[in-house]
């Protein structure tokens, strides 16, 4: 297959990307404390990977209640905005394009991470099970713990959250980001509204699929009002074939995931957003997405489609050759190979990711992975 097909330029909305290799959102837990503030180390990390045609930040909480893991950055304080300016300045100095992923974990949190140790908020008071959150126990130390029981948001509080997303988009724009991605995947807040298993509401945000998609629709409209539709993307993680354990873990496997996410894509297509990103299952022996879903998504959504989830060069080329996708995100390979596009283009060997340094810490396992020419020196 023609590797060069991934190195052809493409327009993402009104932005011209130099290639189709994407840095996806990757939580690394390196923000400065107190305050979950982006820092110089994070600026170095992103600027090292600026050869990606497109970059999306790690999940960035839109408000204090949106945090589910220690040391993840926010976009709700002025100090955080100033910290992110370091990142966007470093990326733009090298002609990179970067979106901020707006994140709210909803029920996937613990009271120790919440303001005044309150209960996490969610569409319905249903506890997340078989999943752990990461709390700080001491400086530079942390532990995994079961999420706390959430409380159900009132209808007025849901509408207030829509406005918090709008404000987060304004903050991201002030920080210099080129656009925003809404994290609507992996069992977090927007996904909790979409899922029939975690949304048992009886108001306008619950019940039918159209109602369960209402929160996503209103949040998308809110951030479009800030950035414009061509600078907005949404990320989903549809699951089809899973074990019982995986169903429990996410709690969000729909009885008809095809209908759920094609309906969502149709709604987003009408809003005219720049892209939809699909995070495929990435555990060992996870199944591929059904071809019928890929085809229906391509037929339904007219913007750019991004795929992620244990992608190799060969898998990306196969999906691309069938016309299903436009951009391809490489997570762990990009962690260990800051010059990943160059390595893929020329068939160069890849560094191996060190799992023990994925979350928390300093430059080790973060900004010290060598470029190919440095490794050969």
> Can you tell me which residue has the tokens 């629709």?
217
Q: Under DSSP, is residue 130 helix (H, G, I), strand (E, B) or coil?
A: coil
DSSP assignment of 179-208: EEEEE--TTSHHHHHH-TTT----STTSSS
Alpha helix stretches (DSSP H) within the chain: 40-48, 78-93, 155-174, 189-194, 209-212, 214-227, 244-250, 257-271, 291-300, 313-321, 332-336, 340-346, 372-376
* Residue 107 near residue 95 (C-beta atoms within 8 A): no
Classify the C-alpha dihedral 67-71-72-76 as positive or negative.
positive
- CA of 280: how far to CAs of 3, 98, 290, 294, in Å? 22, 22, 11, 11
Residue 363 φ/ψ region, left for φ over 0, alpha for ψ in the -120 to 50 degree band, beta for the rest: alpha
324 as an active site residue: the answer is: no
* Residue 38 near residue 31 (C-beta atoms within 8 A): yes
Active-site entry in 188, 275, 366, 369:
188
Long-range contacts of 5-9 (CB under 8 A, 24+ apart): 5/317, 5/320, 5/321, 6/313, 6/316, 6/317, 6/320, 6/328, 6/344, 6/345, 7/341, 7/345, 9/53
Q: So which residues are the catalytic ones?
A: 188
């Amino acid at each position: 297959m023609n590797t060069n097909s991934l190195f052809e330029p493409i327009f993402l909305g009104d932005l011209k990307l130099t290639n189709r290799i994407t840095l996806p959102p990757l939580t690394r837990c390196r923000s400065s404390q107190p305050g979950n503030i982006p820092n110089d180390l994070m600026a170095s990390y992103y600027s090292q990977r600026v050869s990606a045609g497109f970059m999306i930040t790690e999940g960035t909480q839109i408000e204090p209640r949106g945090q589910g893991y220690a040391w993840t950055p926010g976009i709700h304080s002025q100090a955080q905005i100033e910290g992110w300016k370091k990142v966007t300045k470093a990326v733009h100095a090298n002609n990179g394009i970067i979106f901020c992923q707006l994140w709210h974990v909803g029920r996937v949190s613990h009271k120790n991470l919440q303001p005044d140790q309150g209960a996490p908020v969610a569409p319905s008071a249903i506890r997340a099970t078989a999943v752990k959150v990461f709390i700080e126990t001491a400086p530079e130390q942390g532990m995994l713990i079961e999420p706390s029981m959430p409380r159900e948001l009132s209808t007025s509080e849901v509408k207030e959250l829509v406005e918090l997303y709008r404000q987060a988009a304004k903050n991201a724009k002030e920080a210099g980001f080129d656009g925003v991605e809404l994290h609507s995947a992996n069992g977090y807040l927007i996904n909790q509204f979409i899922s029939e298993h975690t949304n048992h509401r009886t108001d306008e945000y619950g019940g039918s699929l159209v109602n369960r998609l209402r929160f996503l629709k209103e949040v998308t409209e809110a951030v479009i009002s800030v950035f414009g539709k061509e600078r907005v993307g949404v990320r989903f993680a549809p699951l089809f074939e899973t074990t019982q354990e995986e169903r429990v873990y996410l709690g969000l496997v729909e009885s008809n995931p095809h209908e759920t996410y094609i309906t969502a894509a149709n709604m987003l297509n009408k809003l005219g957003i720049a892209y939809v990103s699909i995070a495929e299952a990435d555990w060992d022996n996870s199944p591929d997405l059904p071809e019928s879903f890929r085809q229906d998504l391509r037929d339904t959504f007219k913007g750019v489609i991004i795929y992620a989830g244990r992608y190799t060069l060969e898998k990306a080329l196969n999906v691309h050759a069938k016309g299903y996708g436009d951009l391809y995100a490489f997570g762990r390979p990009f962690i260990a190979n800051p010059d990943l596009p160059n390595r893929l283009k020329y068939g160069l060997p890849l560094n191996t990711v060190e799992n023990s340094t994925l979350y928390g810490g300093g430059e080790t396992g973060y900004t010290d992975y060598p470029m190919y020419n440095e490794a050969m020196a």
